Chain A
Amino acid sequence: MSGEHDGDETGDTPSNSGQQFDRLPATADEREVPGRATREEVVGWWEERFGISPETFDEFTFWEKGKGKIWAFGGDTVDPIRIEGLGMAFLRTRQEHWKPTTNAVQRFGRDATKNVVELSGEAATRFAAGEDQEVEWDGDWGYLLVAHELVGEREPMGVGLYLHGELRSTVPKGRQESLPVLD
């Protein structure tokens, strides 16, 4: 489901456009644009990676605009649609390891059951500031959901890239904050 068949820009093969949002095909059988993720793959990825149930996304439609950039829209509209934004930038596909966005993880990640790193105190503050740090983790490598406890419940902060014992914060610059250390 990675992007080894990235868009054939010539000839009659339909290709991805950076100018419009195209609805993802439901399944691979309906795929017309080479390399485009399907709805089934996208929803399946969240379940496989984080244990988030597919029903979470029942009311959402998924769209691609820009190569591999998947958007989650909490409703439905005409396909294709040529506008500037539709719902929330959600997931980066067409690369070996798919990467969820910080905003998607904050919005949909509360019910994650796996690949969740919980940080507390200073470690959580450092992650929100965009800092890389060594963590104790013996699970999968790659993109993990990073959370901390806020008013008695686990709250997702964003996405960390775990490699060689180090957790790299992928919180974008515009979302990084210098926050107090919570007890």
Chain B
Amino acid sequence: MNPLERYAPLVDDEEAFFAACERPLPSVVRVNTIKTTPERAREALDEEDVGYEPAGWHDEILKLDGRSPGTTWPYFHGWLHGQEEVSALPALAVDPQPGEFVWDACAAPGSKTTQLAAQMDDTGLLVGNDNNLGRLSALRHNAERLGVTNLAVTNQDARNFSLKPFGSDQFGGYRYDGSDSDGDDEPDEAAREAFDRALVDAPCSCEGTVRKNPDVLDQWTLDHVHSVAGIQKGVLRRAIQATKPGGTVVYSTCTFAPEENEAILTHALEEEDCRMVEFDSPLDTVSGVTEWEGEEYHPDVTKAHRVYPHHNDTGGFFCAKLEVTA
């Protein structure tokens, strides 16, 4: 069975939904403002006669005519990064500010991480974590090509991520090794205790990427949905715990499955000190769902955004914004 069929009851226009899922995705790039401006990036593409169309909702996002961005000069210089249009959404929801301490819990290969770095003007401290050491090299390669210098790369299981490497153990009067570089009992100036913001772009069953990778449908199983949901709950809970009160946590996936989206939010809302907050999406979206196959979800999950491929000619996506309350 085509797993996409289970979502037919959720979409407004089944025919358009299935038709969009069959079409390949346009080639889209994000302009890297750490190294250039949208104007200069467009001029560089013009010099090479590469056709493009601005995404309309954001001047840093360009849809290319056919050609792979890798074979252009602005790509070589790290002015451009190939990134699916819809995947620019979560970093916009995180909205990190220059100088902040920000966590990207599942960062590799780094499209969203490098977008966060650019939003922070490449200042502060951005922690890009991934539990897969092999994927970390892709993250580092992409970040360095784009000229990112505010990134710390870690290789931990995000579900029990420790802030100790960043000096969190120096707070609260407890010092684990009795040492202190400047000889007093205060935390070092550069030590950090909790994040200002976090992004959980969770591993998922990825049906939303079907236009890029049709194989995802053959590999899809309900068992996988349930097992990955356990990981998603763990990572989101840890992100809420590791973020300071008043801070922002964004949860996103590229799946349509409510078991991996609204159900995860409901779990976090019940177990952790947080609340859902509304945010504006520049893309056309619909609200999160409160019922699915006999399950009921927290009423506030309607503040989350569902993105279907036929609404904006993109991949499928889910994005929710939470505020940490204590």
Contacts and interface: CB of A to CB of B under 8 A. Distances in A.
A153 to B, nearest CB: 8
B165 A182 contact: no
Contacts, number: 112
A141 interface: no
A123 interface: no
Contact of B149 (A60, A78, A175, A178): A60
Contacts of B133: 84
Interface in A164-183: 174-175, 177-180, 182
A169 to B, nearest CB: 12
A106 B35 contact: yes
B123 to A, nearest CB: 6
Contacts of A175: 76, 145
A157 B76 CA distance: 8
Nearest to A155: B77
Contacts of A18: none
Contacts of A30: none
Contacts of A177: 70-71, 75-76
A150 B77 contact: yes
A181 B301 CA distance: 52
Most B C-beta atoms less than 10 A away, residue of A84, A88, A182: A84
Interface of B is mostly: mixed
Contact of B144 (A75, A88, A150, A157): A88
B151 A87 contact: yes
A78 B150 CA distance: 14
Interface string A47-81: 00000000000011000000000001111111101
B72 A179 contact: yes
Given A76-B190, A107-B35, A85 B70 contact: no
B148 A88 contact: yes
A86 B152 CA distance: 4
B225 interface: no
A175 B189 CA distance: 37
Contacts of B75: 177
Interface string B47-75: 11000000000000000000000111111
4 residue pairs, one from A and one from B, having the closest CB atoms: A85-B153, A74-B149, A78-B167, A107-B147
Interface of B: 34-35, 40, 43-44, 47-48, 70-78, 122-125, 128, 133, 136, 140-141, 143-145, 147-155, 165-167, 170, 181, 188-192
Given A74-B150, A81-B152, A179-B73, 7 more contacts: A73-B149, A77-B166, A85-B140, A85-B152, A106-B35, A151-B43, A179-B71
